[in-house]
Amino acid sequence: MTAKYAIILAAGQGTRMKSKLYKVLHPVCGKPMVEHVLTQIEKNDMDEIVTVVGHGAQKVEETLGTRTKYTLQAEQLGTGHAVLQAESLLGDRDGMTLIACGDTPLFTAKTFSELFEYHKSKGAVATVLTAKAENPFGYGRIIRNELGIVEKIVEQKDTNKEEAAVKEINTGVYCFDNKELFHALHKISNDNSQGEYYLTDVMEIFQQEGKVVAAYRMKDFSESMGVNDRIALSKATAVMRMRINEEHMRNGVTLIDPQNTYIDTDVKIGSDTVIEPGVQLKGHTVIGNDCFIGAHSEILDSVIEDNVTVTASYLEEAIMHKESNIGPYSHLRPQADIGEAAHIGNFVEVKKAHIGKNTKVGHLTYVGDATLGKEINVGCGTIFVNYDGINKHHTNVGDYSFIGSGSNIIAPVEISDHAYVAAGSTITDDISSHDMAIARGRQVNKKGYFDHYPVAKAAIEAEKKQ
Ligand code: UD1
Ligand code: CA
């Protein structure tokens, strides 16, 4: 088996992005571009992966962690110079080296694997991955001789008129014989319009040395899209979005309007789940089978079990157990844990709270720092008063209890099983099982008071005059 190495070029700043964030860290469907590249490379059973970092080196290393080794390119003198920085880590090894850029997020593991195979089958020292672009502007052009053999790669800024008309482009992905690569890199110069050491110049060097240079042309240009500015970023995101969405549809998920459904790369969805337009599923969200996710819901890093209904709601770091439902217009905040078949209605906010099986929190309620048992009814407009201005306090409510509408439950407080809170109560003391707490001012009826009410008085006078 030939050893396989990879070098990811990720040292550039990406001036054309006009951003504080380093180019390769811009996310595409929830994941930084360079991480997409790494993930697809990893699937090819690599012996070593080296990422060349420079601008934002620390941030890039934080993002990719120990999945790759790093080499620093302190000054960005071009892609050829960048690859040379990996020499101390890889230079003396036998094997094949794949090179990819951190700003081409759409390449698939399959394409990389095909490139390795093609490279081996041609017995080449270098194989460039090419594609046909309708609009090749900005890419390096593949210049072939009359026999169709690749002679050189010419960068956009160095093209003459004839070369500029060539539609076959360099995707920025290559496979090299590892030792030959570093040998040739020492021979390139920066004698070009950008004054940079171009990796692409090694092709011409191999040609001159009479070594076999090959080109593997891929069918789908969109996969090779390089992101240099925000327009390309949005185009790459659109391609990635459709790729993700089609995969879910193939797996049995109904997307009513896939163009307008935004699902991050790592999200998982079970079959027969229906997702309406405008939904955003982000981060590491996992959704079960037979769920319904209604229009414009946004779900971040949450777990949704089977048969759950989410209607126009916003969920972050929450869990909804099977057959529960929420919405419209409710908010689950971190550590909201909604029990089996529980009902969270409209305008309800839940934070760091467990809602037990079959419990109903129907309307206009805040539940924070609380543990609610099963089969409880929480009336409209209830507030779990959890914060005293300094600390948060916890409330427990036992099974089968009833909280009347408009109650304030001032934590910390224990409400036992089968307890009853009368509507409008402000609860500050614990309630025992089978008791009712009523904690509100007594109603006083003032005889004839209405007639003293100034507006009413005026109305009565006016009526008399008619
Ligand atoms: C490069 C190729 C071009 C190809 C295109 C495909 C060269 C000379 N040109 O052009 O033929 O069509 O990709 O997308 O290779 N980088 C470094 N250090 C540097 C310079 C760049 O690490 O000194 C990294 C960048 O972070 C980026 C990648 O290399 O991830 C490509 O650099 P970029 O400047 O975007 O090259 P292009 O002009 O797109
Ligand atoms: Ca680029």
Q: Is 9 in the pocket of ligand 1 (CB under 6 A)?
A: yes
39 among the known binding-site residues?
no
The pair phi, psi for residue 8, each rounded to 5°, is: -110, 125
**158: enclosing H helix or E strand:** none
Structure tokens at 432: 């025992």
Note the pLDDT of residue 411. 98
Q: Are strands 141-144 and 319-320 parallel, antiparallel or unpaired?
A: unpaired
Closest C-alpha among 53, 50, 52 to residue 66: 50
CB atoms < 10 A from the CB of 280, how many?
18
Give the residue whose CA is nearest to atom 36 of ligand 1.
Answer: 79
- 3 state SS of 144: strand
Structure tokens at 50: 């080296």
Average pLDDT (412-429) is 98
Active site residue 36: no
| Packed helices 33-42 and 57-64: angle between N→C axes, nearest 10 degrees | 50
Residue 455: pLDDT band with limits 50, 70, 90: confident
Residue 452: pLDDT band with limits 50, 70, 90: confident
Residue 454: pLDDT band with limits 50, 70, 90: confident
Note the pLDDT of residue 367. 98
Give the residue whose CA is nearest to atom 37 of ligand 1.
Answer: 139
| Percentage of residues of the chain with pLDDT beyond 70 | 100
Q: Ligand 1 centre from 85 Cα, in Å? A: 15
Closest C-alpha among 11, 171, 172, 3 to residue 90: 3
Note the pLDDT of residue 458. 86
Summarised one tens digit per residue, pLDDT across range 422-431 is 999 999 999 9
Summarised one tens digit per residue, pLDDT across range 129-159 is 999 999 999 999 999 999 888 999 999 999 9
325 among the known binding-site residues?
no
CB atoms < 10 A from the CB of 163, how many?
17
Residue 202: pLDDT band with limits 50, 70, 90: very high
| Packed helices 33-42 and 109-122: angle between N→C axes, nearest 10 degrees | 50
In the block, residue with structure tokens 């500015």: 229
Q: For residue 202, which ligand has an atom nearest its CA?
A: 1
Query: Cα 328 to chain center, whole Å?
Result: 24
Give the residue whose CA is nearest to atom 35 of ligand 1.
Answer: 228
C-alpha separations of 273 from 115, 264, 286, 335, 422 in Å: 37, 16, 12, 24, 40
- What span, in angstroms and rounded, lies between the C-alpha atoms of 271 and 256? 14
- What span, in angstroms and rounded, lies between the C-alpha atoms of 313 and 13? 38
Residue 460: pLDDT band with limits 50, 70, 90: confident
- What span, in angstroms and rounded, lies between the C-alpha atoms of 223 and 129? 11
**457 pLDDT more than 90:** no
Q: What is the CA radius of gyration of the chain?
A: 32
Summarised one tens digit per residue, pLDDT across range 308-355 is 999 999 999 999 999 999 999 999 999 999 999 999 999 999 999 999
Summarised one tens digit per residue, pLDDT across range 352-387 is 999 999 999 999 999 999 999 999 999 999 999 999
Residue 459: pLDDT band with limits 50, 70, 90: confident
Q: Which pTM does this prediction carry?
A: 0.92
- What span, in angstroms and rounded, lies between the C-alpha atoms of 345 and 326? 5
Note the pLDDT of residue 187. 97
Report the amino acid identity of residue 236: A
In the block, residue with structure tokens 């955003």: 280
Structure tokens at 252: 């049995």
Summarised one tens digit per residue, pLDDT across range 35-91 is 999 999 999 999 999 999 999 999 999 999 999 999 999 999 999 999 999 999 999
Closest C-alpha among 439, 441, 412, 443 to residue 427: 439
- What span, in angstroms and rounded, lies between the C-alpha atoms of 330 and 348? 5
Q: Is 155 in the pocket of ligand 1 (CB under 6 A)?
A: yes
Average pLDDT (390-413) is 98
Report which ligand 1 atom has the smallest distance to the Cα of 52. Answer: 22
353 among the known binding-site residues?
no
Q: Ligand 1 centre from 375 Cα, in Å? A: 61
Q: Is 78 in the pocket of ligand 1 (CB under 6 A)?
A: yes
- What span, in angstroms and rounded, lies between the C-alpha atoms of 317 and 418? 31
Write down the H helix ranges in 192-304.
202-208, 230-250
**449 pLDDT more than 90:** no
- What span, in angstroms and rounded, lies between the C-alpha atoms of 342 and 361? 8
Task: Judge whether 374 and 397 are in contact, CB under 8 Å.
Answer: no
Choose, from 284, 363, 393, 418, the residue flagged as catalytic. Answer: 363
Note the pLDDT of residue 440. 95
**451 pLDDT more than 90:** no
**447 pLDDT more than 90:** yes
- What span, in angstroms and rounded, lies between the C-alpha atoms of 72 and 35? 18
Mean pLDDT of the residues in the chain? 96
C-alpha separations of 228 from 10, 144, 273, 358, 431 in Å: 12, 26, 37, 52, 64
Contacts of residue 72, defined as CB under 8 A and 6 or more positions apart, other chains included, come to 11, 52, 53, 54, 57, 85
